[in-house]
Amino acid sequence: MGTLSIVATPIGNLEDITLRALRTLKECDVIYAEDTRVISKLLARYEIKKPLQRLDAATEAKKADEVIGRLEAGEHVAFVSDAGTPGISDPGSRLVAAVREQLPGATIEAIPGASALTAALSIAGLGSDGFTFLGFLPHKKGRQTALKGIVASELPVVLYESPHRILKLLEELGALGVARITIARELTKMHEEIVSGTVVEAQAHFAAHPDAVRGEFVVIIEP
Ligand code: SAM
């Protein structure tokens, strides 16, 4: 029976990859990737040449069957998402669940590494009493309920957000009376930036620096 390695990759800076992740990507038989073009840049940087297959959110169920076939044949399969840890607001969970259910004898191993979630929390300077991670909020149905839950939370709430909706999110949080937030933008990249303060201060920051409404965001709402 084969092995499925779930491999974390960098969230920006290509140096943020573990020695074990590199060895796994070098030693496996095939790499399944959320987007083969994205992972090709990482593989080129580390001179790794491997057969690549695509497995994204739309094809996860179908491709899981293919992966199961390979594991039955004794292959070592690695899975990587576009950035960070697979299964964290990324494909991977359904693949793991399918393999666990249909092939209990297969080894599923985590190759841990970067995640925007833990990177942001590590420099937010919040207490260590726990947190709630919600990933991306729903865009329409369920959004208001989720926002109200965030405001009522006694723990910090961590969200992922895109540049298209970050200003809208700030407006919504401000209207619901949220006081303090930390926004981690473009972590590990050239334009990495932390904005910490009141919602009004964050809005003023983005109004003064429209260029900063770009890239990838983690938003931490303080209780
Ligand atoms: N699996 C990834 C992880 O472990 O963090 C998350 C993938 S999710 C599709 C992408 C979202 O993660 C982005 O929209 C952003 O909210 C957050 N993200 C990813 N990379 C980031 C970075 N370098 N800086 C800030 N946020 C980031």
Q: 3-state secondary structure string, 154-215? A: CCCEEEEECCCCHHHHHHHHHHCCCCEEEEEECCCCCCCEEEEEEHHHHHHHHHHCHHHCCC
From the DSSP assignment, how many helices (H) and strands (E) are in the chain? 8, 10
Query: Is 63 in a helix, a strand, or coil?
Result: helix
Ligand 1 atom nearest the C-alpha of 136 is 16
pLDDT of residue 5: 98
Q: What is the pLDDT along the chain (223 residues), one digit of tens a residue?
A: 999 999 999 999 999 999 999 999 999 999 999 999 999 999 999 999 999 999 999 999 999 999 999 999 999 999 999 999 999 999 999 999 999 999 999 999 999 999 999 999 999 998 878 999 999 999 999 999 999 999 999 999 999 999 999 999 999 999 999 989 999 999 999 999 999 999 999 999 999 999 999 999 999 999 9
Predicted TM-score (pTM) of the model is 0.96
Ligand 1 atom nearest the C-alpha of 116 is 5
pLDDT of residue 135: 98
Query: Is 91 in a helix, a strand, or coil?
Result: coil
Q: What residues contact 218, with CB distance under 8 A and at least 6 apart?
A: 116, 117, 119, 120, 158, 159, 160, 161, 183, 184, 187
The CATH number that domain 3-111 falls under is: 3.40.1010.10
Contact present, 29 and 100 (Cβ < 8 Å): no
From the number of C-beta atoms within 10 Å of its C-beta (0-12, 13-18, 19+), residue 148 rates as exposed
Q: How far, in Å, from the CA of 216 to the mean position of ligand 1? A: 6
Closest alpha carbon to 27 in 1, 50, 52, 55: 50
Q: How far, in Å, from the CA of 213 to the mean position of ligand 1? A: 15
pLDDT of residue 218: 98
The reply to whether ligand 1 has any atom less than 6 angstroms from the CB of 85 is yes
| Phi, psi angle pair for 108, to nearest 5° | -115, 120
pLDDT of residue 116: 98
pLDDT of residue 30: 98
Q: How far, in Å, from the CA of 85 to the mean position of ligand 1? A: 9
Contact present, 50 and 30 (Cβ < 8 Å): yes
Q: How far is CA 119 from CA 70, 168, 183, in A?
A: 34, 24, 12
Other residues' Cβ atoms within 10 Å of the Cβ of residue 75: 16
The CATH number that domain 116-221 falls under is: 3.30.950.10
The reply to whether ligand 1 has any atom less than 6 angstroms from the CB of 117 is yes
Domain ranges for the chain, please list them: 3-111, 116-221
Q: Residue whose CA is closest, atom 11 of ligand 1?
A: 160
The reply to whether ligand 1 has any atom less than 6 angstroms from the CB of 115 is yes
Contact present, 125 and 22 (Cβ < 8 Å): no
pLDDT of residue 164: 96
Q: How far, in Å, from the CA of 222 to the mean position of ligand 1? A: 19
